[in-house]
Amino acid sequence: MEFAELIKTPRVDGVILHRPFMPTVEGTLCLTGHHIILSSRQDNTEELWLLHANIDSIEKRFVGSLGTIIVKCKDLRVIQLDIPGMEECLNIASSVEALSTLDSVSLMYPFFYRPLFEVIEDGWQLFVPEEAFKDLESMTDEWRLSEVNKDFSVCPSYPSLLTVPKDIDDESLIKAASFRHGGRFPVLSYYHKKNGMVMMRAAQPLTGTNGRRCKEDEKLINATLCAGKRGYIIDTRTIAVAQQAKARGGGFEQEANYPQWRRIHKAIERSNILQESLIKLVEACNDQSHNMDRWLSKLEASNWQSHVKEILTTACLAAQCIDREGASVLVHGSEGTDSTLQVTSLAQIILDPACRTIRGFEALIEREWLQAGHPFQQRCAQSAYSNGKPRSEAPVFLLFLDCVWQILRQFPCSFQFSESFLIMLFEHTYASQFGTFLGNSVAERAKLQLSHKTVSLWSWVNRPQELERYLNPLYEANNLVIWPSVAPQSLLLWEGVFLRWNRSTKCLDEAYQEMVHIIEYNKELQNKVNSLRRQLAQLETEDSPLQTP
């Protein structure tokens, strides 16, 4: 298909662009296969360069022959384009609509994007399971890397290599897979070096209404327990929801069959509820006319903050079981691709200082989200402004980022990255020139040949000049477990995302700059003093023969 067919009017002059906090710009609007571009054709003026993929919805309005298009973006920004001429306006609108809702992945921009920078380190090769396993091997020999899912036939949403208990053979894995939703049998998610406890994740067991059991599944997870020790199964659903799942063939681990495990149910909501919550929250944030009562009641009604609290609480619970109780943990919900991953990844941020570095956080996202089969493409197809009926869209990953932000805010010196890194990730999951978040699983990504045909986000981000923008000046590496407060008063609305386009951040940015300045000045002084100290020491040694004959 040619994009040209969809572009009815490629160019309109005299278009006026309105953006939050910036002066309006008049210029020429151009449509390309992947972008809306507005250029004022003057030097040094800001231009609009918007990916069609970033467009969540568009609205048209007409006053006389002047048409206006309101473009609502997935990054929650709203811009307005005044277009002279009704026909031009209609053409632009319908073209943008068509181009922003293309179904075929291979038509997406990452397949056309050619980087203007030199790729020094290929992000696609950066986080391979073999490397992660080497780290694990240095700590324990209880685990092995299984190739049972080499051709993705045992579990289509898992990667080809999986870390499993050493004593469990591939035959058993296949049997256990048949007992878990989507074939997602229990695999290793995290090894806690401090006490050797582990966190595993899976999908729900397919016990159904007649209480099916699977010896291999039981053996598999029991293999992770030390002799005489009990473990915890954290089911991210309420007991009621888990019961209901039985009718559809799902279910939960029966005490009788898993006597060494204690099951705890939490209440993390399913994806469609989360999507609704996001829509309500953004609606509340965008209405500046709300009085205090209305704002607070809308904020409450959106339930967003409740979701943040519930997810963080569950993650803390998992971390607590591992670090404080010295017990191993298995986490699952229904499919094991959403709430499960929120919990396992956040628990690692709490427990493992490595996850709080930039590289470590990238590795975590690779391991616990991309390779673990979080369906990014489905979940991020639409954002808060989608009008249509949601299919499988849900801000599961955004909620995870929000939770990370909450911990970061409570422990501002413990993370190597700053808030802007999280916001950047949020943007790229919804629309990007990079292929990293395309597809829904490793299998799909392999089929799309993303690593050959597109550039990895990490290839770009990890270049020093780019990385600099995301570094937290307050970072001081520490080896501690960090326990966030999950009290409602400790959890704030993530203004950097949800109020980003509604209020200027000038003063807050200035404060940030001030902070950077203070710290840089300190480093500069330290360098100076250190070099003087060295000089002094040198002088003293040179002088010493004279002084001490």
Q: In what order do the strands lie in the sheet with 329-332?
A: 187-192, 197-201, 329-332, 231-235, 261-265
Restricted to residues 429-488, the positions that interact with other proteins (CB under 8 A) are 474, 476, 483, 485, 487-488
CA dihedral (145, 462, 375, 433) positive or negative: negative
Q: What is the DSSP string of 29-87?
A: EEE-SSEEEEE-SSTT---EEEEGGGEEEEEEEEETTEEEEEEEETTS-EEEEEEESHH
DSSP state of 205: B
Least distance from C-beta 543 to other proteins, angstroms? 7
Residue 92 backbone dihedrals phi, psi, to 5 degrees: -60, -45
Cα distance between residue 431 and residue 334, in whole Å: 28
**DSSP for 321-333, written as a single string:** HHHTS---EEEE-
Work out how close the CB of 186 gets to other proteins at its nearest, in angstroms, rounded to a whole number: 31
Minimum distance, C-beta of residue 237 to other proteins, in the bound complex (Å): 18
Contact between 239 and other proteins (CB under 8 A)?
no
Q: Binding residue for other proteins (CB under 8 A) from 24, 106, 209, 297?
A: 297
Answer yes or no whether residue 299 interacts with other proteins by CB under 8 A.
yes
Site for other proteins (CB under 8 A): which residue of 106, 140, 153, 490? Answer: 490
Vertex 395: Cα angle to 394 and 401 (nearest 5): 155
When asked if residue 264 is in the footprint of other proteins (CB under 8 A), the reply is no
Q: Is 133 in the site for other proteins (CB under 8 A)?
A: no
Answer for which of 303, 314, 342, 386 binds other proteins (CB under 8 A) is: 303
Q: Which is nearer to other proteins, 66 or 267 (CB)?
A: 267
User: Using CA atoms, how far apart are residues 414 and 407, in angstroms rounded to an integer?
Assistant: 9
Q: Which of 121, 137, 151, 300 binds other proteins (CB under 8 A)?
A: 300
The single residue among 285, 311, 394, 431 that binds other proteins, judged by CB under 8 A, is 285
The nearer residue to other proteins, 144 or 266, going by C-beta atoms, is 266
Q: Which is nearer to other proteins, 387 or 522 (CB)?
A: 522
93-101, 143-151, 383-391, 502-510 -> range binding other proteins (CB under 8 A):
502-510
Place of tokens 């006389």: 64
Q: Is 387 in the site for other proteins (CB under 8 A)?
A: no
Q: Which is nearer to other proteins, 37 or 492 (CB)?
A: 492
SS3 content of the chain, % helix, strand, coil (to 5): 45, 15, 40
Q: How far apart are the first and last CA of the chain?
A: 89
Alpha helices in 352-447 (DSSP H): 358-365, 376-379, 396-410, 419-430, 442-447
3-state secondary structure of 143: strand
- 273 contributes a contact to other proteins by CB under 8 A: no
Sequence-separated (6 or more) residues with CB below 8 Å from residue 334: 181, 203, 204, 237, 245, 250, 270
CA distances from 219 to 65, 145, 182, 191 (A): 72, 18, 19, 19
Choice from 507, 541, 545, 549 touching other proteins (CB under 8 A): 507
Output the smallest distance, CB 489 to other proteins, in A.
Answer: 4
The beta-carbon contacts of 60-64 under 8 Å, at least 24 apart in sequence, are: 60/89, 60/90, 60/93, 62/86, 62/89
Residues 77, 122: Cα–Cα separation, whole Å? 31
Nearest CB to other proteins, comparing residues 219 and 298: 298
Q: State in angstroms the smallest separation of the CB of 303 from other proteins.
A: 8
Structure tokens given for 397: 């990953």
Of the ranges 235-243, 377-385, 444-452, 505-513, which one interacts with other proteins (CB under 8 A)?
505-513
- DSSP class of 259: T
Of the pair 104, 548, the CB lying nearest other proteins is at 548
Q: How far is the CB of 267 from other proteins (least distance, A)?
A: 10
Residues touching other proteins: how many (CB under 8 A)? Answer: 57
Q: Which of 407, 406, 418, 421 shows the shortest CA–CA distance to 515? A: 418
Site residues for other proteins, window 515-544 (CB under 8 A)? Answer: 515, 518-519, 521-522, 525-526, 528-529, 532-533, 536, 539-540, 543
Nearer to other proteins, 166 or 528 (CB): 528
Q: Which of 33, 208, 390, 412 binds other proteins (CB under 8 A)?
A: 412
Could you say whether residue 324 binds other proteins (CB under 8 A)?
no
Q: Does 411 bind other proteins (CB under 8 A)?
A: yes
Site of interaction with other proteins (CB under 8 A) = 285, 288, 290-297, 299-300, 303, 305-306, 308-309, 410-414, 474, 476, 483, 485, 487-493, 499, 502-503, 507-508, 510-511, 514-515, 518-519, 521-522, 525-526, 528-529, 532-533, 536, 539-540, 543, 547
